Structure 1
Amino acid sequence: MGEKFLTHYQVLGLARTATERDVKIAYRKAAKIAHPDRGGDPALFRQITESYETLVDPAKRNAYDKSYGAAGRSTPPAPTGSAHAQAREGYRGSSYGSSARAGSTGFSGFNTHRAPEHSSTAGDPAVYFPPYEGPAQGEVPIMPRPTAAQPVHGAPRKRGLFGASSRLAREARTAQLIMQQVLPGIPAARLINGLTAPFNSGYVDHVLVSGYRIAIIGSMLVPNGAFRWDGSTLVHGSKAVAPPQLLPATRQFQDLFPECNVTAWVCVHSNTGNLFEPVIDYARGTDPDGSNAVNVANAARFTREVKHFLASGPSPNVVDLHVLDRLLGGMY
């Protein structure tokens, strides 16, 4: 039934906005069904109990949300190699989403379904999964529809003592670029700003998701001139400039969201404000076309390539509420 891919919220049939009282009610109803003394499965009962113990404790629940629901979940390892994008897309057909809803009418945490496959384009109106239409009586959606329909969530946040103003300016420039150049053409795309990195104390500037593709995005500002990208550093004359280290977070997000293709992008801004600068020359095999784990490009090429990356994925007009809900839980 795909239980190993369910979050603690989905195990108990709750939305992330559930109150402590909601958690206790859902646990009691689930325990009655799954308790070994009533003929239930001991393993399932342990999973329900673990979910309850995490969500009923405010500190544990906050840490769990910031881990994107990683604790207690078992996911297949992300494939590696030069064909990583094509391979990861294959996980889409073997993973599960849950139609668990929050409410006080009963335990519904194991009503699992796959997102529907249908012919669609990125320019089509957004389709929500699970759908908002026709919920069972008394059930509450995973998140309010206005929240799901909101194209931008969160904002760049001040952190650290040094260089905060320049970092915030870079992030704001990238966010504005995405809002102006990417979101209007892809109604299902959602931009989430200011996320904690999984499993450590780091941060991720932006995450852009549409359908079953996720782009992890960082920013950098460089001086005027021509650069060369060799796959690990930007070379400017005799100087090497290291981009943000996005590969660890990309791999972690891929493990957390095996149903998605997760790829990283670094948007390189020039201090001239010209989207076509800086000019970047690419070594063989490092073109930012989405086939690499980390792609580096100036603003103009970044918007072109990231739009193609999102639009060419399966069901690009789907807003998967399970994916979006977990990403929103990771905002700091």
Structure 2
Amino acid sequence: MSPSPKTLYEVLGLAPSATADQIKAAYRRAARTSHPDRGGSAETFHVIAEAYEVLSNPQQKAAYDLSLGRGGARSGSPAAPPSASRTGYARAGSASAEENLGSTPRFVPDFSPGSPPVLPLALAGQQIHGTPRRPGFFARLGSTAAARYDGENLTINLLQRTLLPDYPAGRLVNGLHVPDRSPRGGNLEVGHVLLGGYRMAVLESQVASPGNYNWDGRHLRYRGREVNIGRLPDAVRTLQDRFPECNVSGWVVLHSPNGNPFEPVIDYPPSLSRSAPATVHVVNAGTLQRELRRFFNDGPQPQMVQLQVLGGLLDAVAQ
């Protein structure tokens, strides 16, 4: 008889009554000893990172505690618990976030012989459109432009490998040039928009230095210094205004230069909600996959491709 899988608390060597500070301290101790750069295994490090991501998020922690038969959730429904871990460790039980994403795409409006199509079928059936905007020579000399361009390519490759094959209705549009409808005016350079059903994820990407980052919902900091996230909040507001039928949320994606999907680590204050719509989240590559799957799976009719919305996004692709 095989032993019962460890709980996430046991992964970090904690009691279920551990405080937020104790969870953070335990994660950092475990991460130091299990990191592949220090002789640990990548699988163990990923399990530890996943445990921390759940237990450091108050909503996910409440859902996980409920699945273990502990404690009551606060008023309101907690965020959906994460899907089962592939590593065999006990996670909060829920239906897989793939249950609605794998359906055959349904185009709206459909391709009727009696009316001209909104988009050609070949274009509508394509999952990836556009490419990152390559910065000029002098711009690439600056670390920000180079980190953004390299990060955008990493995000495209990540989604092409891990999400889009499982989500036939997902449409990724890259390199958009969108007029800003806020009082600031001007134009917004948007790295990526992922469209599915009635939901739209606006993504900005960069390659980030190793270490821990802090995100409080408005400001991203690294070693006490604020990190520029561009005009992503303006892009989310502008696209929400332009496509009111969609639920629009934004993500800043930080990629590790060594390719580890669970680095860098993002720390969040306990009061921050990471599931509210039309807000900006900061994630590493590993967390992005999970959050996007949940975001689209939880939306209405995720298997639908809105051709008019897709057409509007394609019109904004930078030439």
Task: Report the counterpart of residue 150 of structure 1 in structure 2.
Answer: 126
Q: 2:310 matched to 1:324? A: yes
- RMSD over aligned Cα atoms: 1.9
Aligned-residue offset at 1:292 = 5.7
* 1:303 equivalent in alignment to 2:284: no
What amino acid does structure 2 have at the position aligned with 1:194? G
Unaligned runs of 5+ in 2: 1-75, 77-98, 181-185
Q: TM-score normalised to the size of structure 2? A: 0.62
Work out the CA distance in 2 between the residues paired with 1:260 and 1:292: 10
**1:157 Cα deviation after fit:** 1.8
- Kindly provide the CA deviation profile for residues 168-221 of structure 1, in whole angstroms up to 9, marking residues without a partner as x: 211100111111121111110000001002232231000000001001100122
Matched, 1:261 2:247: yes
Q: 2:190 maps to which residue?
A: 204
Q: Secondary structure at the match of 1:220?
A: strand
Give the structure 1 partner of residue 152 of structure 2: 171
The CA distance in 1 between the partners of 2:306 and 2:194, in whole Å, is: 13
- Name which of structure 1's ranges 239-248 and 313-322 shifts more when overlaid on structure 2: 239-248
- The AA in structure 1 aligned to 2:305 is V
Partner of 1:135: 113
1:224-247 residue CA offsets vs partner (Å, 9 max, x unmatched): 112221222222333332323211
Query: Relative to structure 1, is the Cα distance of residues 217 and 124 closer, same or farther in structure 2, using a 3 angstrom cutoff?
Result: same
Instruction: Give the whole-Å Cα distance in 1 for the aligned partners of 2:262 and 2:172.
Output: 23
Is the Cα contact below 8 Å between 2:124 and 2:307 reproduced in 1? yes
The amino acid across from 2:238 in the alignment is Q
Shift in alpha-carbon separation, 1:299–1:289, aligned structure 2, 3 A: farther
The TM-score with structure 1 as length reference comes to 0.60
In the alignment, the residues of structure 2 paired with residue 245 and residue 299 of structure 1 have an alpha-carbon distance, to the nearest angstrom, of 20
Q: How many residues align?
A: 211
Describe the superposition over 1:52-92 as per-residue Cα deviations: whole angstroms up to 9, x where unpaired: xxxxxxxxxxxxxxxxxxxxxxxxxxxxxxx9xxxxxxxxx
In structure 2, what is the Cα distance between the partners aligned to 1:184 and 1:290?
27
Structure 1, residues 127-160: CA drift from partner, whole Å, max 9, x if none? 011111x431xx3211111110000001112245
In structure 2, distance between residues paired with 1:314 and 1:248: 25
Distance 1:166 1:297, change over 3 A: closer
Query: How far apart in 1 are the matches of 2:276 and 2:258?
Result: 26
The residue aligned with 2:267 is: 281
Give the Cα separation in 1 of the matches to 2:135 and 2:258: 26
**Percent of residue pairs bearing the same amino acid type:** 39
**2:174 alignment counterpart:** 193
In structure 2, do the counterparts of structure 1 residues 220 and 179 end up closer, same or farther at CA, with 3 Å as the change threshold? same
Work out the CA distance in 1 between the residues paired with 2:271 and 2:153.
30
3-state secondary structure, aligned to 1:309: helix
Question: Relative contact order: is structure 1 or structure 2 higher (C-alpha 8 Å, sep ≥ 6)?
Answer: 1
Secondary structure of 1:235 counterpart: strand
AA at the equivalent of 1:204: V
Q: Compare 201-210 and 290-299 and name the one that shifted more.
A: 290-299
Match of 1:162 in 2: 139
- AA of the residue aligned to 1:190: R
Letter aligned with residue 220 of structure 1 = Q
SS in 2 for 1:202: strand
- Could you tell me whether the CA contact under 8 Å between 1:186 and 1:311 is conserved in 2? no
Contact in 2 for aligned 1:152/1:191 (Cα 8 Å)? yes
Q: For residues 271 and 163 of structure 2, what CA distance do their matches in structure 1 show?
A: 25
Cα distance change on mapping 1:220 and 1:287 into 2, 3 Å:
farther
